[in-house]
Amino acid sequence: MSFNTLPQPGFGTFRLKDEVVRKAVGDALDLGYRHIDTAQIYDNESDVGQAIANSPVAREDIFLTTKVWMDYYRQADFQNSVKDSLKRLQTDYVDLLLCHWPSPDNEVPMAEYLGELKAAQDAGLTRHIGVSNFTNAQLDEAISILGPDVLLTNQVEVHPFLPNRSVVEHGKANGLTITGYMPLAVGAVNDDPTLQAIGEAHSLTAAQVSLAWVHQQGIVTIPSSTKRHHIESNLKAFDVQLSDDEMARIDGLARGQRIANPDFAPDWD
């Protein structure tokens, strides 16, 4: 599976609701994004679906991702939850279906919910399947359950303050594309002097530098914004080429600053 399977960049919709997300997704599609990322727990699938329906961009030209929430991992609930997502999204299929987090303390056995994930793919409800927030050991377990070359991605937090290198490299070594979420560290990159200085040398914003750094590592990323000019600005970052020295300076910003770390999170690598 190639890096090109997942369009770069995607547009993230975490924390966006109602008319805000409808306008943002509409703007993203209008500006050229073709990869939209949502999730059951975001409580915005209906609005994302409406934005896609309202867009002149054909559904088959959009790579649409959603994620199954942990409450629906049991065999009795999984498929119905996916079908409910499809109804909300106004589509017969998604392009990528993820399990959003590993089941806490393995409450639902991984073999059970990954078996359901594969069953959803076999039923045509999704074209590709993947996982999110899996540790290296959990990814190894997942591959042992499903076999190699079945999972497209592990979606994990990646930004200059949390490069997540061990997980990124382990996923790549197993043939997965890595999707990096929160690439702007919820806006924190904008205030970083190193990113600002590199940006000034290229007439870029610190946010654009951060996105270029993620991109040059072969990681697909899904920045989010509610402002059209930021959505457009983010898109331009993927035409930027940073030097090896600049990449190394950004690498030096790593400080283990993890933003997505709920109490049910796994023991991170």
Catalytic residues: 42
Determine contact, residues 131/68, Cβ cutoff 8 Å: no
Closest CA to 155 of 137, 139, 141: 139
Pairing of strands 177-181, 63-68: unpaired
Contact 231, 262 (CB under 8 A): no
- Is 100 annotated to bind a ligand? Reply is yes
Sign, CA dihedral 181-31-95-87, equals positive
Angle at 32 between CA 30 and CA 38, to 5 degrees: 85
Q: Report the C-alpha gap between 30 and 18 in whole angstroms.
A: 18
User: CA 209 from chain center: how many Å?
Assistant: 19
Question: What residues are designated binding site for substrate?
Answer: 100
Question: What residues are designated binding site?
Answer: 100
